[in-house]
């Protein structure tokens, strides 16, 4: 979980490769209307996200039945969204790729071929509800390091979390 530009897809893809885990980029489950809305520079609202979150919930349910470790990339910015994903998925954990605005903005500016507009980062940070102490299933990884370091830190927290 994390805002756009935090490295969710790149990190999860490499972690899945190294752990021989299942991987799904949640962006591919967005309905066409959501992608078009974001491409036009408009942020999604809770109603826009509802069918997407349900599709992610269903994917998590299916993947955890057949895989020891499965990785699904999604922003999960609000606690309410994380709660929706938890429904019926008792073994679900979140990995929060945490970084500050400047680090992430620079990454977004360098990105090619992604529908996300840099100016929407402000909206994402405003929407972000940092996981609280009550969300014990959220593992935090600092992204202010090279990709290889973020991947290694992520694998470390997954291994600690699976004990």
Extract the runs of DSSP E, i.e. beta strands, from the chain. Answer: 22-25, 70-73, 94-98, 138-142
**pLDDT tens digits along 23-48:** 999 999 999 999 999 888 787 899 99
Q: What CATH fold (topology level) applies to the domain 8-161? A: Rossmann fold (3.40.50)
Q: What is the pLDDT of residue 115?
A: 54
Task: Enumerate the β-bridge partners of residue 71.
Answer: 23
**pLDDT tens digits along 5-27:** 899 999 999 999 999 999 999 99
Q: What is the pLDDT of residue 116?
A: 57
Q: Would you mind telling me the total number of residues written for the chain in this entry?
A: 163
Helix (H) or strand (E) holding 49: helix 46-66
**Does position 112 have pLDDT exceeding 80, yes or no?**
no
**pLDDT tens digits along 72-87:** 999 999 999 999 999 9
Single pTM value for the model: 0.89
* Tokens, residue 151: 């991947």
Domain ranges of the chain: 8-161
Which phi and psi (to 5°) does residue 126 adopt?
A: -65, -35
């Amino acid at each position: 979980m994390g805002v756009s530009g935090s490295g969710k897809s790149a990190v999860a893809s490499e972690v899945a490769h190294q752990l021989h885990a299942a991987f799904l980029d949640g962006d591919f489950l967005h309905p066409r209307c959501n992608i078009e809305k974001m491409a036009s520079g408009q942020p999604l609202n809770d109603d826009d996200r509802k069918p997407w979150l349900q599709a992610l919930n269903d994917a998590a349910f299916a993947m955890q039945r057949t895989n020891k470790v499965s990785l699904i990339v999604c922003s999960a910015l609000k606690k309410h969204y994380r709660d929706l994903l938890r429904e019926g998925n008792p073994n679900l954990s979140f990995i929060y790729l945490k970084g500050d605005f400047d680090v992430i903005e620079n990454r977004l500016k360098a990105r090619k071929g992604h529908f996300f507009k840099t100016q929407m980062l402000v909206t994402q940070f405003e929407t972000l509800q940092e996981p609280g102490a009550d969300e014990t299933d959220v593992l935090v990884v600092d992204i202010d390091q090279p990709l290889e370091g973020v991947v290694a830190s992520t694998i470390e927290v997954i291994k600690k979390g699976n004990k």
